[in-house]
Structure formats: C-alpha cells, structure tokens
C-alpha cells in the first residue's frame, strides 16, 4: 500500500486545496477505502463554505463515496472483505449503543458522524470509514453512477416509500434537480401518477423524459390549483429549501395527503393548521436512510433501470466541478473520479 494519498481539503472556508496526506491505518471498527468515485452534492456547500477554519487538519468533504476496501480494522464484521467494492453515504455509521440504535432506528443514531462534515469524506484517494456505515455496491452499477444513489437516490426512494402513496396515486415532485431527477424516475417505476413541478420551460422536456406524466411550470400557472384540478396529490416531495415555494404548494394536497420534506431550508415553513386538520393532512421530514436501506435502493435501481444523470471530472478539477454544481450548470449530478477514471463526459 502506498504511503501517501491525494486529498482535497477545505484550507479556508470556500477554498479547496489539493494536498498529500499520510495513508492512515484503520482503528477498531474502521476500514480504509481506496476511493474510485465521489459525488458532489448540494449539501457539500455548507461543509465547504462554512467549514471551521480552526480545524486541523482541515476537513475533506464529500459524502457520496464508492471504492474498494484495502485495509480492515480490528472487529470489522466478516461480511466485509479486502478488495470488496463498498459505498458510504452522508450517515457515517451508527454507534450500536444509543437509544435510537437499540430500537433499530440506525438512521437516527445520536452518535453518528456526518461524512464530509464531522469526519473526512471522499474528495480523496483514500478514506477511513466506520464499518457500520458501509454499503455493498452491486456489480451492475459503475462506481461513478452508484455514488449519487448513496445520497440523492436513497433520499428520494425512502421519501416515496414513506409518503403513503400507492400505485396509481398522484405524486408531485417539487424541484427537478439533483434529487428531483431521481425522484421522478423512482416514482414512475413505483407506479405513481407523476407530476413534476419546476420553474421555467427549460426543464420540461427532461422532466417528461425522466418519468413525469405532466410538467407544471410555476412561472406560468398556479401549481397547487393544477394539482387540485387533478384531484389533489396523495404526496408532494419537496427537494428545495425555499419555504415560500413549498408552502404555496401545500394547497394541492389531497385529503390525508402528505408533504414530505427533503430540502432543509433556513426559514420557518408557514403551515395552515386548518388545512392540515380539516383534511387530516400531514407534514413529514425524511432523512436519507440506513446502510441496509441504501442497499435496497441500489438493488431497486438495478432492477428498475434507474440511473442518475451524471457528468464526471477528475479529482484535481474539483474546484471547477464544485462551482458548476453551485451555479446549477450540471444535469443533474457531478461526480469526481480518481486517477484513470475521470473523462469529464456527459453520461
């Protein structure tokens, strides 16, 4: 094993720096992953732009990581083997000790690191990870297309499963970006009647291609009124953090419909208590999910032919890739690849 590896660290808030680091040895319950691909997620912006400048060494961001196991720490479960391809998402591995873990709610573990935020992530050639956070990657998926499924994929797949909608029900997706383009694919393949809600006509063709039966442009019509005219949505998935836009769509919920929040904005969400009470409607927050749920998401993606639409760039071009993600100049996910894998091509 080589003595050093390349990593992109947040040298100062908002600035990524390519450095060489000593290759670490995994401790008890840890593994060392040789990274093959790492997605760039919108949530990375907070980790990079608001990084703690006093942290030493500086944090390595990235939480959509796929690679191969090259070293196993003491106590690693026997299901994980050297050379095996694995992934790690935003949730960095549960503790197996807290109250939530004892109830089997591992995604709500009280002592779980957030990859790329409270522990180093995958903008690097090597990465340490808790064994409890590992996800097995199916052979049918390339590393660069599996990476975004570990975050955007599971977030939307799990949200749809929690939505209460059944086959044939009307489901709306607000925000057709990195998360929304996955939600449309999953929703269509789950048998829902799918409405995509976005701003402007430029995304309409993509939304229909990805699985929407109907596209509603909020610049041209009242999206909530359109949903009501269709009988109301059994579920609305919101992938954006704009509280005003989210709140304005709630009137389109059918009785007993659910608004499922994926985008975590800073502003309070205005909610009409009467609208919730009279129609027995509800608002639900949804986090990504456990490693097992992540594997279910990957398996369903293989079974149903769901794939993220990606563009790849090599690790050394991460600053360019990150700025393009922030500007919205990507359809729909940007993925970093390590040496020998990057081709800066549209997939």
Residue 346 has pLDDT above 50, yes or no: no
Comparing 32-36, 51-55, 60-64, 72-76, which segment has the lowest mean pLDDT?
A: 51-55
Residue appearing with tokens 């909530």: 224
pLDDT above 70: residue 59: yes
Give residue 328's pLDDT. 87
The pLDDT value recorded for residue 44 is 94
What is the DSSP code string of 249-263?
A: HGGGEEEEEEEEE--
**Phi and psi of 334, rounded to 5°?**
-100, 135
pLDDT (average), residues 96-120: 97
The CATH superfamily holding the domain 4-144+289-337 is Medium-chain alcohol dehydrogenases, catalytic domain (3.90.180.10)
Residue 160 and residue 179 in contact, taking contact as beta carbons nearer than 8 Å:
no
Whole-number percent of the chain with pLDDT over 90: 93
- All structural domains of the chain with their residue ranges: 4-144+289-337, 153-285
In whole angstroms, give the CA distance from residue 330 to residue 191.
Answer: 28
What's the mean pLDDT when you consider all of the chain? 95
Mean pLDDT across 301-311? 98
For range 191-218, the mean pLDDT: 97
Identify each DSSP E strand in the chain by its residue range. Answer: 4-12, 15-22, 30-40, 65-72, 85-88, 126-130, 135-136, 170-174, 193-198, 214-217, 233-238, 253-261, 282-285, 310-314, 333-337
In the three-class reduction of DSSP (H, G, I as helix; E, B as strand; rest coil), residue 221 is classed as coil
Is the model's pLDDT at 163 over the cut of 60? yes
Indicate if the pLDDT at residue 342 is higher than 80. Answer: no
- Collect all residues with Cβ–Cβ distance below 8 Å to 95 and sequence separation of at least 6: 101, 109, 110, 111, 112, 132
Alpha-carbon Rg for the chain, nearest whole angstrom, is 20
Architecture of the CATH domain 153-285: 3-Layer(aba) Sandwich (3.40)
What's the pTM?
Answer: 0.94
Mean pLDDT on 68-93:
98
User: Among residues of the chain, what percentage have pLDDT more than 70?
Assistant: 98
Which of 21-35, 72-86, 320-334 has the weakest average pLDDT? 320-334
Question: Is there a contact between 242 and 265 (Cβ–Cβ < 8 Å)?
Answer: yes
Greatest CA separation found in the chain? 64
């Amino acid at each position: 094993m080589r003595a050093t590896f390349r990593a992109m660290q947040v040298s100062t808030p908002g600035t990524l720096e390519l450095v060489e680091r000593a290759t670490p040895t995994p401790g008890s319950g840890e593994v060392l992953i040789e990274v093959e691909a790492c997605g760039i997620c919108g949530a990375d912006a907070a980790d990079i732009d608001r990084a703690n400048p006093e942290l030493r060494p500086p944090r390595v961001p990235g939480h959509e990581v796929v690679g191969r196991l090259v070293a196993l720490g003491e106590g690693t479960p026997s299901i994980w083997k050297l050379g095996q391809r694995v992934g790690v998402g935003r949730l960095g591995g549960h503790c197996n000790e807290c109250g939530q873990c004892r109830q089997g709610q591992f995604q709500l573990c009280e002592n779980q690191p957030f990859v790329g935020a409270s522990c180093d992530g995958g903008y690097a050639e090597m990465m340490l990870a808790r064994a409890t956070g590992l996800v097995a990657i199916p052979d049918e998926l390339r590393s660069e297309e599996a990476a975004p499924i570990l975050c955007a994929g599971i977030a939307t797949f799990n949200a749809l499963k929690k939505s209460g909608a059944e086959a044939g029900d009307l489901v709306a997706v607000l925000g057709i970006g990195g998360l929304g383009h996955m939600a449309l694919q999953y929703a269509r393949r789950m048998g829902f009647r799918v409405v995509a809600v976005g701003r402007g006509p430029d995304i309409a063709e993509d939304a229909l291609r990805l699985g929407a039966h109907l596209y509603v442009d909020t610049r041209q019509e009242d999206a909530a009124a359109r949903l009501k005219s269709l009988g109301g949505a059994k579920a609305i998935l919101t992938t954006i953090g704009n509280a005003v836009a989210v709140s304005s769509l709630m009137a389109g919920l059918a009785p007993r419909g659910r608004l499922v929040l994926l985008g975590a904005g800073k502003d309070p969400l205005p909610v009409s208590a009467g609208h919730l009470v009279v129609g027995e409607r509800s608002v639900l927050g949804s986090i990504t999910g456990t490693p097992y749920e992540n594997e279910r998401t990957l398996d369903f993606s293989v079974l149903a032919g769901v794939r993220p639409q990606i563009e790849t760039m090599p690790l050394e071009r991460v600053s360019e890739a990150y700025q393009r993600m922030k500007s919205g100049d990507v359809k729909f996910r940007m993925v970093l690849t390590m040496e020998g894998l990057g081709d800066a091509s549209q997939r």
